[in-house]
Every structure is written in C-alpha cells, then in structure tokens.
Chain A
C-alpha cells in the first residue's frame, strides 16, 4: 500500500480546497486567504426535513383560494410569520405509487413504486438528496449526512434507515446521536499523520482480505444469491470510495466547531433543535452540502407532555388529539422558524447569508391522517432559485417528484428526471 501521499494526490486534495468557499468559519480561512484571490461564490446546499406522520389538515394548509404572495398564513404555520417572504407552501402534490398510509418517509424523496420489481415485496429507488450528493458531495469531507432519530417505528416514517436511499434503492444509514455526529464533524484526529495514513492502508488491506473471501463465497452461487453477495461487494467499494476521500482530506484538519458539544440524551423537541443547530454548523463549515433529517415523532410528543401516541394523534379528532396535533404542528413551525433564523444569521464570506445558498424542503409523504394526496410541502432558501413567499396550488396529483426535480435543476444540477417526475414546476421558478 501507499505509504506516503504522492504529489498528484496532494494537489487533488488542495484543489478541492481551493474550490471551497472562503467561509467565515475558522477552519478554512487560512486556505482561503492563501488560495483565493478572487471572490468565490458560496456553494449551494440542500436540506430535507421529514416529519413522518402528516399535519393537521384544517389548520396547516393555507386556503386554496388565496394563492401567490397574498395569502393568509394559517394557524399551523403562524410561528413562521416573520419569514413569510422566505418560504413557499406548495399544495396539490403527491407520490402516485404510494399506498402505505403509515409510511411518511420511505418514498417521500424517491417517488418509487413499492411493487416495481416483480418477485419482490418491496423496492425503492434513489432519493432526491442522494441525486444531489452525487454532484454536490465531491468537494466536501462528507458527501452527504443523514440525520435520524432513535424513535422506533411509531412515528409514521415507514421502512428505511433515514430519508436517504442510494442509487440501488437501498436504505442509507443516518446519525441518530447528536453527540456522535458532533464528534464526527468537529473532533480532531489526535493521531499523527503517518499513523492515520497507516490506518487507511490497514483498512485497505482489510478490504482486500474480505474481498478475497467474498470471491470464494461467490463461486457456485445461484444467480439470485450472486446478486445478494453483490451487495457485499458494493459495500466494500463504498468503503473504498470513502477511504479515498479520507485520504484526500488527510492533511486537512477538521474545522473548529461553531457550536458547543450537544448534551447527552436529548429527546424530542430538544433533540430536533440541536440537530437543526448541527445542520447549520455542518453546512456553515462546508463539511457537507447535502443533509436529510428523519425527525422524531413519538418522542417529540412525549417531550411536549402529550400523552396520546403519535399514531393516535395523526388520527386526530376534536378534543385532546386534535389539540395535540395542532401543538405538534406549532412546535414544528417554531423550530423551522428558528432554523431559518439561524441560516439567515450565518454569514458567508461574500456578505450573503447561508440561507441564500440553501435549498430546504420540509414535509412528509403523508398529508394528514391516512391521506397521501396533497403532501405537505414547505420550500425555503435561495439555493434552488425558487420563487419564495408564495402559496402555490398545483393541479391535484402533480408528482411530488416534479418539485424535487425543480429544486435539483434550480441548484444547477444536471438531472433529467427524478422518480416519476413529468417535468419541472414552472410556477416555482423565480
């Protein structure tokens, strides 16, 4: 194995850095000042926030007769009032293949048909964030970061490990512990460079070894089993890719954290808030440009001293459950408003704000109760060049993937189509 970094490699690493924005954050300043002479445009970032069970239909969606900029913000979105010009509410979209009334996240960003593959009881396809990560993830330490919660299956997300699904339609794992994520992002590797290089080299030889075994096992397998072992090979290749990336970033110290280490054991509302802070921190330091967060549902309610279960609240009816449902909507809107505050307050080197370069979507595949039509969708940020401050009502059953496609293209990504998209949503383009 390679014992020292060769020159080409080094240049590649530095080259990536030069392309990085000269953020105000500490970590990159010296590279920026050394390398950049002309101002560089801050990079574009993408964030998806999925809440699982849907919203309170009666109080969350704006009146469909009021469209454009001149609409009354409904009760459920009231905490977002100070940002009314900064986000757009989209109505009328859905994923046409979705039939699972309790799966708010599985197909939210993919638009896939569960039964698309004959002989298989469940399948999925790539999610919008991973499409973005393929292009936006090249120049950052982490191609994408998925956040998750340890909430269990009672929160209306459906199968999956996070909101993200890879290009083979396999679930992508996420961080559920804010503290672990914090250390992954910001804690320095104490080991000297040579030892870290040696560690990478060792990891490579570990991969080589298991690869040998995988090839032995592969021999004589049926076609189906061969496909199965192929997942293992793919896993090895993915680690290899990550090792290459680690190598590229070996001589780049981790950036200093703009926030304090989160407290241990946060649950529900506090957990979401600190994850939002970590999202800002990760984007601000350009550790990654693509993030998703599959948010807690059950523990959010528990942290708000709401007794009925998340599922029961999703089946709200006048009385305790309806009030709980509205309280949850309000809590989400408040936290989202807080996130927008932070994104706006975070300055890029050119004086613009982080918010100007983020494309953010908040919502679920579940509208409310057991309804899968009219997926609740909030879009915010200037990253995808969308018309903000709007209430857009699209024809019923517009593919939600059209919105994702509009975002992806708006970010300047070369994407022909996504999921079951039939085109971009012109109404959303600025």
Chain B
C-alpha cells in the first residue's frame, strides 16, 4: 500500500485483504457483502513450518488446531478467541517452545503485525451494531445542561457514574447503564435543584444587587504589618533568651556539660541551633517559657524561622503604592486575597467579579496571571486555593491599573468564600526552592509581580427566564387559603405538572396516570404540613417533590424514539429536533426548533440547513466541541499528571486549562468559519488560537487578556496545528519526560487513522538498558530487537522521535539529557526518521508536512468518530457507506468542518430510527 493512502485505501487496510471484498467496495457497494478480518494466507507457510508439529488436526496440542482453523478471524467469536490465544502465546514468547525452532524475527514481526491488527478488526466486526441505535439516556453533560435550561441551576453531577465506563463515546446507548443508585441520585439532585430554583425565583424580587468591595491595603497589609511586628518581637525575645543561655554557657559550672555536648555532636556549640536546642541541660539557663516560647526547640528555631521570611515581608511592606493596594506574595505569608461577603448576603445566582490591578515593572510575562478559587482550609496557612476555577491576565501597570471583569456562579452548595492568588503550582510550597534561589540573589525572595488595587463583587445579576419560570407563569399555582378551594388548587397543580412534564419530556405527553400519582404525592405533602396552607414555602416544598420525580422519570432521562427493528422509519420532526439539539448543543431543542418541528418544517432540507448553521453559530455549540473533541482525540491523559515543578514550572493548572482550550478553540474556529474552515488546518496552519497565557507560554508578543483569538504565526514556527499544541505533547508525557511511544501511537490513532492494536498483555518487557545513560532513541531501539515489540513499535516510535523537539510540557527544545551529575549526558535532538514503509523526514517540520498531506486519512478518522458520537453507537462496518458518503460530500466543500456536520445530519442514518 502506498504511503499517502486515501480513504478508500485505508478502508481496505482496515477490513481485510480478501480480493473479492475489495472489488465489492470499489465497485457498486452491496449492503449484503459480509465484512471479514482475514489473516493473509501468506502466513500459512510459517504455521506449517513452526506450529503444525503440535498444533495440527491430529495432535491439536492445547486444543489448538492451526491446520483447519479459519483464516477469517471474524467468522465467529470462537475463531476470534482461538486466534487471540495464538496471539497471546506468540506475544508472551510461550510459543514456539524454547526447545523448538524459533520463527525468524522478520517473519514473526510480520505475522504479529497482521494478526494483532486483523484481530482488532475482527473484534470490531463481531461487535458491530448492525446499524441499530440503542436508546440512550442523558449522559452527565447533557443532564447538567438540560437541568440548567429547565431550572437555571448548575447541578453537581459527580454523584452520577461516569458515562464512558466501558469504552467509546458517552453518547453510546449500548454501553450505558442505569442502576438503582443512579435513579436515587437523580431524585436527590433533582429535588435539590428545584429547591434552589425556587430560592432564585424568590431572590429575583430584590431590585438592588449586592455590591461588595475589597481594598486589600485594608485587609492584607495590616496583617503583614502585624506579622512583621510579631517577627520583630520574636527576634527580640530570642536574643534576650539567647543572651541568657550564652551567659549560662560561659559559667564555669557548665564546663563539663559543654564538653559532653560537644562530644555527642561536634555541632553542639554556639552559635549553632543544635546547641541552643540543648540549652535546658545548662545550669542557670533561662526558661524559654519566660520569653514566650513553648520549649527550647521553639526558642532555638525561632531565629531561623524569622530569618526565612523577615526580609521578604519587610521588602513587600516597604514597596511603593502599598498605601492604596497590595502585592501578591507566593510561597510564604499571606498569599491570597479573600473574597468573602458577610454571611447571608451571598444568595444563589451569578455575580460580576471585577479586579483592578497592575503589574510591577520587569516581572516575567508568565507571572502576569492570577488564579481564582476557593481558599484551602486544610491547614492554617494564609495561602493556597483548593483548585483553579479560572485564570486571568493582569494587563495594566501599577501607575495605570486595568480592570478585569469575570463572572462567578454561586449555587446553593457553593462555598461562600473565594480567593485570588498569583498563579502557582497546585502545591504552593513547591516554589520554595525558587524562593531561596531568588533570595540568595536579591536578599529577600520572589520579586513582586502583581499589584491589586481593589476587588468588587456585584450581583446576583438578573437571569433570563428558565423553562420552569415560563411554565409557572403560564400555569400559576397559588395555594388556597380555605379548605373549600383546595380542589381548585389541585386542579391548578395538575395543569402545571402536566405542562412541566411535557416541557421536561421534550414535548411528549406524560402518562395521565403518572400525573395523577404526582398530584397525589403533592396533596399528601401539602396536607402533611400541619395545614400551614397560607405559607408559600409549604407549597413550594410540596411541589418540589413531583417536579423532581418528573426529572428522574424515564420520559425525561431517555431520548426515546419508538421503533420497529424490522422496519426502520423516518424520525418525525420533533424527534429530529431532539437528535439535532443533543448532537450540536448537548442540550434540549430551543423554542425555535420546537416551533419548526411542530409545523413539520424542520425536516425540509433548506430549513434544516439553516437551522444547523444557526445552531453552530450559537454559543451552545461550545457544548458539542467540549463534549466531542476530548473524546475524539482521547484527551483524558491531559489530566493524568502533576508536572514536575523543577522542570516545568510554567505547566501549572492554569496552563493545563488554557492548553485544553486551545484544542477546543482551534476546532470551533473551523466549525464556525463556514466554507473557510478546512479540517486539515488542524494538521498544519499558519495561525494559532491562543489567549494571553498561551501567548506568554509560546513566546508570542502582543496578545493580552483571557479571550482566545486567532494570531498569525511567523513562517518558521513549530506551532500551528495539533502537533504544535501544548496539550497534545503534555498528553504524550508523564509530567516529567516526553513519551515518544505515547505520541507516536496518538498520531497513528488520531491523525493518520491507522490505530495500532491495543497494548497487548504478557509481552516481555525489555529492561536490559534501564540502568544505562542513553539517549531516548538508543533506549527505544530495544523495541526493534523483539518481534513482539517491533510489530507495533516500528510504526509508532519513528513518529514519536520526530516530535522530540517538544518537551513534556510542550515547550520547544533542541537538546535533551539523561542521567545526573557526572553521568549526565546531553545530546542534540535528532528528529529525523521515516514512516514504516513510508517516506523519510529530516526534522519535525517535514514530519508535520507529511502528516498534513494525509488530510484524507485524518478526515476519515474524524468522520468515524463523528458518526459514533452523533448516532450514539460505535462506528462499525455498517457505517462504511455513510462514512464514504460524508467524506466525499465534505471534500466537495473543501473539507470544511461544518460540511461534515451537514452531510451527517442529511444522512438517512441520522434521520431514521
């Protein structure tokens, strides 16, 4: 097969080598053609020579008969199982046995390559959906979005199990499940959310929002002044105590004690701390308690603990402009500014957070950022947050500070205490080495970088009406004050519940008996409340139950489409609206879609096209991007590792978040760029989509603020396209070193659509080279020695080597090293190499160009994933036609990302049940 295989060639590769099938595909494709994953007959000779002695039809050693077994691996489960057994035995080196002739390396490599790939193909064929789309329920993302639309509440879905526990996309109905725990969680989460929604409705009555302002010169600086005063005092007490100890030491009666101490440890002499720790052994030594120290240990160490921070504090308090603001400290002291309005004033809702701040002159660009989060309360330190909620670029100067504005969402359960700090690693003390290095240079520690003038919080901001609000307006529920009118109240409740259930169930009719039961539950709770009927709260509590039951019922949870397996039917317009909305928004259809569906207009091609474009343009399609892209590109690994602060200081949680966004933004830029958004730009482009943080990370000037934007790149930039992105390289690392294997396998899987088979079990690990100092290339060369490794790694490793110019954190480098101290070896990175049975490349740039030329393969892989995500079933053989159709249709529109979406939604598969 030629290297620059187009999509058709790729398909042949993936689904076997049988000629008849190939003809079937290249000619008019017949649905009836059975796919196979076939092991090439050319391996037969090998089996004859090395295996038949035991594994022929006569002996059948271990019940494995290689003489009569079908070479069609996908014939049935049993055949696949037997071949799996063969593969395992070869991989583990168990077969052929040591005392038998061994298969020459090259032949074995070829066999393992074919066998493992065909077996993966067979598994796919055998687990093919046959075109069935299994009914699915809302996954965690969709549930959260849907609840937000209905109630305006951000629910916490962590109590629900993760959706892709099996494998595949979180939209795949056949691998989803539901358990009793989960149903109970839906009830619980729903009830909580409804109550919060009621609270928000009540709050909406307040006309004037709360405004809370923090002047840090009044909150942080007094603390700092006090800390300095305490340190001064501590030092004075220490010196007084020490003088007493020194006097005692000088006294002749202690001569022997001194000698003994010195004998025990030569360090036990003044002025060492060790000596003063033993002060109580001296006769006439002062009691540390008289000097305010708990014991001698505290007293002896009080001097050095003062030293550690004293000059740092002193330096910061004496900085200019401290009278009207404060500088953020890291590592020691008050490192955060608390945002904590008085208890009870912070009602659920959205708030504006404004921060006026500037940067001290000369501060390095990566230190121009603040992190927002909840303060950590695990220890007494006045620094640290529990996690980064958002990161913000400080752009002004101290003379001309600039105001940044962001939004905070506060739910019923949100901790009513936020804080900001200068960006720093998750473990704040991780910077202490840098602090001491700085201190050795400048005499005090970290140089000041961020100056905060003031912080302001305002809210709650008026919210748009939720679906619950709308329903309540339309069907008001007012509780009756007299027993005569209870009937009227129950009727109103019934009407309201019916209407709300219809809204929640995406415009389907709930069962009447269901509403009866809900009303009964309402009535029971209502009268259960000691006849406190005039109290609104009772009404609300009582109606919260039936609402939360609706939100845990199958009509809400499942995207159900009645159907008949024997005869597929077209979706009606309402069902189409639902599929479309959950595909492109991960949320329910809006009023426009429902209105079009009601008039049976949505399925009209022209209108459908308009609606897709509208939906893509809408910011809701961010939900599609953040739902689909990380699953398509397997980005889970991005969160696996804490990066080594010593090696990769700048790769903190803030960088991680921006790096993730870069991938999403690059995709949505193409998605929303109409016919000028070619998918291939993800392989190579002359621009990047970055925010101020990544601009600083990549060393690109002139980008400020938190918004991502398109920035043109200079001609020789390694950035541009996925292979230039930090996220991709961080995923291909372990937080310390780059991993050419991870990166190479990722590129094969996601860029070239040539996925290596899953990592096989029981392959002997080569550890011969482990204690040697070697270049990465030398170390991985061992992969080529054993057929079990070479069969995959000959494809994987060269690509990984080509990406070695990116370190674990995605920064560009030209050198690498191994070993430490005298054994340390430094070498220039050689990124040259060649694809297995493909063209050679001289460096990273050439590799990127070769990969960019395979846009067809990339598009094909993208389509397979898009189908799996959109239809909610794993891509399989059944979808071959569909994939070809979408690929060729999008090709006519320059491979614009939106063209793929249009083609997929237009397809029968998308519009049929």
Chain A residues close to B by CB (< 8 Å): 97-102, 113, 115-116, 118-122, 152-154, 159-161, 166, 170-173, 198, 202, 205-206, 208-210, 212-217, 219-225, 228-229, 231-232, 234-236, 238-239, 242, 265, 302, 307-309, 311-312, 315, 317-319, 369-373
User: Which of chain A's residues have a CB closer than 8 A to the CB of B552?
Assistant: 210
User: How would residues 559 to 579 of chain B score, 1 for a CB under 8 Å from any chain A CB and 0 otherwise?
Assistant: 011111100000000000000
User: Which of chain B's residues have a CB closer than 8 A to the CB of A99?
Assistant: 84, 88, 758, 760-761
User: Which of chain B's residues have a CB closer than 8 A to the CB of A115?
Assistant: 77, 80-81, 123, 126-127
Given A121-B167, A170-B177, A217 contacting B762 (CB threshold 8 A): no
Task: Kindly identify, within residues 795 to 811 of chain B, every residue whose CB is under 8 Å from any CB belonging to chain A.
Answer: none
User: Which of chain A's residues have a CB closer than 8 A to the CB of B226?
Assistant: none
CB of A124, distance to nearest CB on chain B (Å): 9
- B562→A221 contact, CB < 8 A: yes
Interface centre among B127, B761, B763 (most CB of A within 10 A): B761
User: Which of chain B's residues have a CB closer than 8 A to the CB of A119?
Assistant: 126-130, 174
User: Which of chain B's residues have a CB closer than 8 A to the CB of A312?
Assistant: 734
Instruction: Verify if B244 is at the interface (C-beta below 8 Å from A).
Output: no
- A239→B184 contact, CB < 8 A: yes
- B127→A118 contact, CB < 8 A: yes
User: Which of chain A's residues have a CB closer than 8 A to the CB of B184?
Assistant: 239
- A-B contact list, 7 entries, CB within 8 Å: A115-B81, A161-B165, A231-B178, A238-B180, A308-B736, A318-B770, A370-B759
Chain B residue with Cβ nearest A169: B177
Given A101-B759, A235-B183, A153 contacting B554 (CB threshold 8 A): no
Chain B residue with Cβ nearest A160: B165
User: Which of chain A's residues have a CB closer than 8 A to the CB of B165?
Assistant: 159-161, 171
Chain B residue with Cβ nearest A322: B770
- B736→A219 contact, CB < 8 A: no
Q: How far is the CA of A384 from the CA of B554 in the complex (A)?
A: 43
User: How would residues 749 to 793 of chain B score, 1 for a CB under 8 Å from any chain A CB and 0 otherwise?
Assistant: 000000000111111010100110000000000000000000000
- B562→A213 contact, CB < 8 A: no
Q: How far is the CA of A307 from the CA of B640 in the complex (A)?
A: 12
CB of A127, distance to nearest CB on chain B (Å): 14
Q: How far is the CA of A173 from the CA of B185 in the complex (A)?
A: 12
CB of B234, distance to nearest CB on chain A (Å): 31
Interface centre among B180, B187, B514 (most CB of A within 10 A): B180
Instruction: Verify if B636 is at the interface (C-beta below 8 Å from A).
Output: yes
Q: How far is the CA of A385 from the CA of B88 in the complex (A)?
A: 35
Given A121-B168, A171-B161, A173-B161, A309 contacting B640 (CB threshold 8 A): yes
Sample of 13 further A-B pairs with CB below 8 A, known A228-B136, A302-B642 = A97-B81, A101-B762, A152-B639, A171-B177, A173-B181, A210-B554, A213-B511, A222-B565, A229-B135, A231-B177, A235-B183, A311-B640, A318-B771
Chain B residue with Cβ nearest A263: B378
Given A202-B521, A225-B563, A318-B770, A216 contacting B765 (CB threshold 8 A): no
Task: Kindly identify, within residues 153 to 196 of chain B, every residue whose CB is under 8 Å from any CB belonging to chain A.
Answer: 161, 165-168, 173-184, 187
Instruction: Verify if B289 is at the interface (C-beta below 8 Å from A).
Output: no
Chain B residue with Cβ nearest A171: B165
- A213→B762 contact, CB < 8 A: no
Instruction: Verify if B704 is at the interface (C-beta below 8 Å from A).
Output: no
Task: Kindly identify, within residues 722 to 759 of chain B, every residue whose CB is under 8 Å from any CB belonging to chain A.
Answer: 734-736, 758-759
Partner of B770, one of A102, A118, A210, A317: A317
User: Which of chain A's residues have a CB closer than 8 A to the CB of B874?
Assistant: 121
Chain B residues close to A by CB (< 8 Å): 77, 80-81, 84, 88, 92, 123, 126-130, 132, 134-136, 161, 165-168, 173-184, 187, 378, 510-511, 513-514, 517-518, 520-521, 524-525, 528, 545, 549, 552-555, 557-558, 560-565, 636, 639-642, 644, 734-736, 758-763, 765, 767, 770-771, 874, 913
Given A217-B554, A309-B640, A239 contacting B183 (CB threshold 8 A): yes
Q: How far is the CA of A98 from the CA of B525 in the complex (A)?
A: 52
Q: How far is the CA of A213 from the CA of B771 in the complex (A)?
A: 65
CB of A111, distance to nearest CB on chain B (Å): 14
Q: How far is the CA of A205 from the CA of B734 in the complex (A)?
A: 52
Q: How far is the CA of A318 from the CA of B773 in the complex (A)?
A: 12
- B166→A209 contact, CB < 8 A: no
CB of B53, distance to nearest CB on chain A (Å): 21
Q: How far is the CA of A101 from the CA of B765 in the complex (A)?
A: 13
Chain A residue with Cβ nearest B378: A265
CB of B786, distance to nearest CB on chain A (Å): 13
- A122→B167 contact, CB < 8 A: yes
Chain A residue with Cβ nearest B767: A317
- A154→B179 contact, CB < 8 A: no
- B563→A221 contact, CB < 8 A: yes
User: Which of chain B's residues have a CB closer than 8 A to the CB of A202?
Assistant: 521, 524-525, 545
- A159→B167 contact, CB < 8 A: yes
Chain B residue with Cβ nearest A97: B81
Q: How far is the CA of A206 from the CA of B188 in the complex (A)?
A: 12
Interface centre among A99, A113, A152, A234 (most CB of B within 10 A): A99
CB of B169, distance to nearest CB on chain A (Å): 11
- A120→B167 contact, CB < 8 A: no
- A220→B760 contact, CB < 8 A: no
CB of B132, distance to nearest CB on chain A (Å): 6
User: Which of chain A's residues have a CB closer than 8 A to the CB of B736?
Assistant: 307-308
User: Which of chain B's residues have a CB closer than 8 A to the CB of A159?
Assistant: 165-167
CB of B647, distance to nearest CB on chain A (Å): 11
User: Which of chain A's residues have a CB closer than 8 A to the CB of B640?
Assistant: 152, 154, 309, 311
User: Which 4 pairs, one residue from A and one from B, show the smallest C-beta to C-beta distance?
Assistant: A220-B562, A238-B180, A317-B770, A225-B135
Partner of A372, one of B167, B560, B762: B762
Partner of B565, one of A98, A213, A223, A317: A223
Q: How far is the CA of A213 from the CA of B176 in the complex (A)?
A: 20
Given A119-B129, A121-B127, A221-B560, A214 contacting B553 (CB threshold 8 A): yes
User: Which of chain A's residues have a CB closer than 8 A to the CB of B758?
Assistant: 99-101
User: Which of chain A's residues have a CB closer than 8 A to the CB of B166?
Assistant: 121-122, 159
Q: How far is the CA of A98 from the CA of B762 in the complex (A)?
A: 11
- A309→B177 contact, CB < 8 A: no
Partner of A222, one of B182, B563, B771: B563
Chain B residue with Cβ nearest A96: B85
- A235→B517 contact, CB < 8 A: no
User: Which of chain A's residues have a CB closer than 8 A to the CB of B513?
Assistant: 212
- B135→A213 contact, CB < 8 A: no
User: Which of chain B's residues have a CB closer than 8 A to the CB of A307?
Assistant: 644, 735-736
User: Which of chain A's residues have a CB closer than 8 A to the CB of B636?
Assistant: 153
- B555→A216 contact, CB < 8 A: yes
CB of A61, distance to nearest CB on chain B (Å): 16
- B762→A373 contact, CB < 8 A: yes
Partner of B760, one of A97, A101, A120, A122: A101
Given A121-B166, A206-B187, A229-B135, A213 contacting B761 (CB threshold 8 A): no
Given A120-B174, A213-B510, A216-B511, A224 contacting B132 (CB threshold 8 A): yes
Given A161-B165, A309-B735, A371 contacting B555 (CB threshold 8 A): no
User: Which of chain A's residues have a CB closer than 8 A to the CB of B161?
Assistant: 161, 171, 173
User: Which of chain B's residues have a CB closer than 8 A to the CB of A213?
Assistant: 510-511, 514, 553-555
User: Which of chain A's residues have a CB closer than 8 A to the CB of B520?
Assistant: 205
CB of A50, distance to nearest CB on chain B (Å): 16
- A232→B770 contact, CB < 8 A: no
Interface centre among A205, A210, A235, A371 (most CB of B within 10 A): A210
CB of B498, distance to nearest CB on chain A (Å): 13
Given A99-B761, A213-B511, A173 contacting B179 (CB threshold 8 A): yes
Given A212-B513, A235-B178, A318 contacting B767 (CB threshold 8 A): yes
CB of B136, distance to nearest CB on chain A (Å): 8
- B517→A205 contact, CB < 8 A: yes
User: Which of chain B's residues have a CB closer than 8 A to the CB of A232?
Assistant: 178, 183, 554, 557-558
Partner of A309, one of B128, B174, B176, B641: B641
User: Which of chain A's residues have a CB closer than 8 A to the CB of B378?
Assistant: 265
User: Which of chain B's residues have a CB closer than 8 A to the CB of A161?
Assistant: 161, 165
CB of B733, distance to nearest CB on chain A (Å): 10
CB of B446, distance to nearest CB on chain A (Å): 24
